[in-house]
Amino acid sequence: MKYITLAENIPEVSVIGIGCMRIAAKSREEVADIIHTALDQGINFFDHADIYGRGESERVFGEVLKNDPALRDRMVIQSKCGINMGMYDFSREHIMEAVNGSLERLNIDHLDSLLLHRPDVLMDTDEVREAFEELYESGKVRSFGVSNMNRYQIELLQSSIPFILTSDQLQLSLAHTPLINEGINVNTGWDNGIVRSSGTLEYLKHKDMTLQTWSPLQYGMFRGTFIDNEDFSELNAMLQNLADRYSVTKDTIAYSWLLRLAQKVQVITGTTNTGHIINAARASEVELTAREWYELYKSAGNRLP
Ligand SMILES: NC(=O)c1ccc[n+]([C@@H]2O[C@H](COP(=O)([O-])OP(=O)(O)OC[C@H]3O[C@@H](n4cnc5c(N)ncnc54)[C@H](OP(=O)(O)O)[C@@H]3O)[C@@H](O)[C@H]2O)c1
């Protein structure tokens, strides 16, 4: 497993992280199995949000920690806040309430990382600053980042808070590449040259921020996986070709394609299948060539200008 620095004051994090959005209906034993499999593979990073399963994901994860508290020291735990009953809410009051709820459900005394889940256009940056300062000073949160924000939203927030924003968690997979397309198709006049993220990928690199990729195997928004999906036959053929070349499986190659980006990348997988977790972990050992990276990009239906 490879590790990167997310924030200076927390342990280094594995480049593969376990997303906990889909564990809400799992039993404590099943979640313990997921956690142990991940840790055995060197994966130390676990991504939550207060809203996953309406809090059930954090709760069942917290049950595992309550049963075996020593596990906490082997983990870097991140959660998110800012979605409040179907709307976005970066008020001081909501941020404080959400973090306290996450800590309680997870049975832990601090989060290593807290992300603001989705941009709140009504954001009052002073309120966010006050909440972050209080959370940091009380020891409840050690570092801060964002999710689904473009570079201007990050710059606006960064200008108002005394903590360096560590990361931006964004949707990115071989079948969902608007972040990448805008950079490849600059000034072409093609639809996939439309600037949708304001150069956020380049901004993250420039600022040495970590790009956390969500839904790394999905197409659309939670429409299913492209792995073994006949609508993505050319992509699957290319994935198989490279899987054979590197003696791994197709999902491993799909994750390594993300890790090959120039940014500091963490892939947040949502699998709850222990075999699939092992496949994900292997991606950190595969270094695709630039040619292989572009071949995969093209096999997903993209063309180069
Ligand atoms: N910041 C945000 O706004 C945001 C939004 C959504 C998600 N997230 C985070 O991102 C994480 C990942 O999202 P996701 O669950 O949509 O991502 P994903 O890893 O792309 O999708 C996981 C789903 O794909 C299935 N799958 C099918 N074939 C697979 C294979 N060969 N290997 C692995 N999985 C396969 C999994 O089933 P099995 O369990 O059977 O493997 C699971 O149902 C979430 O858990 C959450 O932490 C963040």
- The per-residue pLDDT for range 132-144, each reduced to its tens digit, is 999 999 999 999 9
Task: Kindly give the number of the ligand 1 atom that is closest to the alpha carbon of 20.
Answer: 45
**C-alpha–C-alpha distance, residues 268 and 47, integer Å:** 7
Asked, for residue 147, whether it belongs to a domain, the answer is yes
What pLDDT is attached to residue 276?
98
Asked, for residue 202, whether it belongs to a domain, the answer is yes
What pLDDT is attached to residue 292?
98
231's tokens: 């609508």
Q: Read off the pLDDT of residues 59-117 as tens digits, 9 standing for 90 and up.
A: 999 999 999 999 999 999 999 999 999 999 999 999 999 999 999 999 999 999 999 99
**C-alpha–C-alpha distance, residues 269 and 98, integer Å:** 23
Give the pLDDT band of residue 237 (cuts 50, 70, 90): very high
Ligand 1: does its nearest atom lie under 6 Å from the Cβ of 236?
no
Total domains in the fold of the chain: 1
Q: Read off the pLDDT of residues 23-72 as tens digits, 9 standing for 90 and up.
A: 999 999 999 999 999 999 999 999 999 999 999 999 999 999 999 999 99
Query: What is the distance in angstroms between the CA of the first residue and the CA of the last residue of the chain?
Result: 36
**C-alpha–C-alpha distance, residues 256 and 266, integer Å:** 11
89's tokens: 């809410």
Which backbone phi and psi does 56 adopt, to 5 degrees? -70, -30
Averaged over 2-17, what is the pLDDT?
98
Ligand 1, atom 32, lies closest to the CA of 276
The CATH number of the domain holding residue 22 is: 3.20.20.100
Centre of ligand 1 from the C-alpha of residue 199, in Å: 25
**C-alpha–C-alpha distance, residues 288 and 243, integer Å:** 11
**C-alpha–C-alpha distance, residues 132 and 115, integer Å:** 11
Ligand 1: does its nearest atom lie under 6 Å from the Cβ of 215?
yes
Asked, for residue 305, whether it belongs to a domain, the answer is no
Asked, for residue 60, whether it belongs to a domain, the answer is yes
52 included as an active-site residue: yes
List the beta bridge partners of residue 81: 116
Which backbone phi and psi does 55 adopt, to 5 degrees? 95, -10
Asked, for residue 115, whether it belongs to a domain, the answer is yes
Asked, for residue 158, whether it belongs to a domain, the answer is yes
Q: Which residues contact 242 (CB under 8 A, 6 or more apart)?
A: 253, 288, 292, 296
- Among 35, 61, 77, 214, which is best to mutate for testing ligand 1, by the most ligand atoms less than 8 A from CB? 214
Asked, for residue 262, whether it belongs to a domain, the answer is yes
Q: pTM value? A: 0.98
Give the pLDDT band of residue 298 (cuts 50, 70, 90): very high
Give the pLDDT band of residue 241 (cuts 50, 70, 90): very high
Q: Read off the pLDDT of residues 162-190 as tens digits, 9 standing for 90 and up.
A: 999 999 999 999 999 999 999 999 999 99
Task: Kindly give the number of the ligand 1 atom that is closest to the alpha carbon of 228.
Answer: 28
Averaged over 116-128, what is the pLDDT?
97
Asked if 303 and 188 count as a contact pair (C-beta separation under 8 A), the reply is no
Asked, for residue 50, whether it belongs to a domain, the answer is yes
Which domain does 138 fall in, by range?
3-299
Beta strands (DSSP E) in the chain are: 3-4, 13-14, 16-19, 45-47, 76-81, 83-84, 87-88, 113-116, 144-147, 167-171, 210-214, 264-269
